[in-house]
Homo-oligomer: A and B are copies of this chain.
Amino acid sequence: MPKITSVFSMRHFFVLSLALNVSLILRTMYETEQGLLCYLSKTQKGQTTQRMRLSSSSSSSTSAATTLTEAQDGVERVINLDQGDPTMYEHYWQQVGEKTTVVIRGWQHMSYFSDVSNICWFLEPELAKEIVRVHRVVGNAVTEGRHIIVGTGSSQLFLAALFALSPRDGPEPVSVVSQAPFYSSYPSMTDCLKSGLYKWAGDAQSYSKEGPYIELVTSPNNPDGNVRRSVVNRSEGTLVHDLAYYWPQYTPISSPADHELMLFTVSKSTGHAGMRIGWALVKDLEVAKRMIKFIELNTIGVSKDSQVRATKVLKAVSDSSEHAGSWEGVESFFKFSYRVMAERWKLLREAVNSSRIFSVPEYPPAHCNFLNRVFEPQPAFAWLKCERDIDDCESFLRGHKILARGGKHFGVSPKYVRVSMLDRDNNFNLFVKRLSTILL
């Protein structure tokens, strides 16, 4: 009997804690603040218990994890799909086993320098090789005639690009624009230090000022998944192509991207967000040198340990693609991730159709040279629209304990929200289940 009593108290305590948790989140969420990353820290405190629970379930199997449903304890738990933490990919890397294990000894990679014969002296040569190789294998970017620059995630490279492309002695800060809906961090990252070199100037579609400007082209786009081209098209513009999502699990690879300045990251390609490794492919030598100088001034290079690890992970991605089926029984990374994304989009569309309150974009199918099949884009984020008379979709979903990022952060109507499609199975499955049952 004492045992049963103890179990009951634990359960009561858990429900109480969860209720407190939810009320804290709701309170925190109402604090207004601009920018996405502020948002990230804004929501984190209240979600501690939930995140930690997710985290503790990460090593358990999918089937075990999906038994965690909201029916337990009679309390709906909060589903956080606000950030794009790519935890979905953990499953694949668990299957791969020891092939991507890195072993680094205490005396290795201690120096600031990786390769002083390269203008990017902090880039590990082996990482450079695997970057070239993965682009060749996938066919998503031209690397010939490009300088490769490694960064602490593509965020640092984005800032380095702004620094490198800004006129040095312009009469005023250069305008930085992007077509709405744009990545919610662009405005706050650009304006955070009130730089005299560059300044956020909003939606590229309504930009009409003369003179130099920098246009950010994210393709496929975050948040809405559309394939993009530049829209301003004036002679004095320079372009930054953010291609974080130009990989075959998200969109058909129609041709190798061939732009002046392209940004990539392991966060969204392989799911290793915690590594903080991105890379830029840059045609112009002087632009590359200035980006490198920015990284010197900003962080004096990039973690060697993560570069060593990224090398091994990218190698595995290429190996699994080149030897698909025969790679010691392990599936191609992109076949796995394509399959999971296809399944998730199918489930999402079913949920959206059954609720009749929401809609998601339709995408034109295209031929993917890498997978050699025609398919519709299946983006890393769902760009969900609340239909009928729901004006604030973020608040509406929050009322149902689903956290997503509202349209205003992306420069558009609050009728939209961005929902991460890359979370762990249990969270995603709970999300589509709950979405399908929401009634007005």
Residues of A within 8 A of B (CB): 37-38, 40-41, 44-45, 47-48, 51-52, 55, 83, 85-87, 89-90, 93-94, 96-107, 109-114, 116-117, 119, 121, 152-153, 155-156, 159, 163, 185, 188-189, 192-197, 267, 271-277, 289, 292-294, 296-306, 308-309, 312-313, 316
Contacts and interface: CB of A to CB of B under 8 A. Distances in A.
B296 A276 contact: no
Contacts of A105: 93, 98, 100-101
A117 B48 contact: yes
Interface of A is mostly: helix
A220 B49 CA distance: 43
A113 B431 CA distance: 21
A305 B94 CA distance: 17
Contacts of A121: 41, 44
Contacts of A90: 107, 110
A94 B107 contact: yes
Contact of A111 (B85, B103, B305): B85
A277 B110 CA distance: 11
B272 A301 contact: no
B89 A110 contact: yes
B85 A273 contact: no
A300 B111 contact: no
Contacts of A48: 116-117
B93 A274 contact: no
Given A37-B296, A85-B111, A303 B152 contact: yes
Contacts of A55: 111, 113
Please list the 6 inter-chain residue pairs (A to B) with the smallest Cβ-Cβ separation, ordered nearest first. Answer: A100-B106, A194-B196, A274-B304, A303-B303, A93-B107, A93-B106
Contacts of A94: 106-107
Nearest to A84: B112
Nearest to A313: B106
Nearest to A303: B303
Given A112-B274, A195-B194, A305-B275, A103 B106 contact: no
A74 to B, nearest CB: 25
A288 to B, nearest CB: 11
Nearest to A309: B305
19 contacts: A40-B296, A44-B116, A44-B121, A48-B117, A51-B116, A90-B107, A93-B105, A96-B107, A99-B106, A106-B312, A109-B275, A110-B275, A152-B152, A155-B298, A155-B300, A163-B193, A193-B195, A194-B195, A304-B306
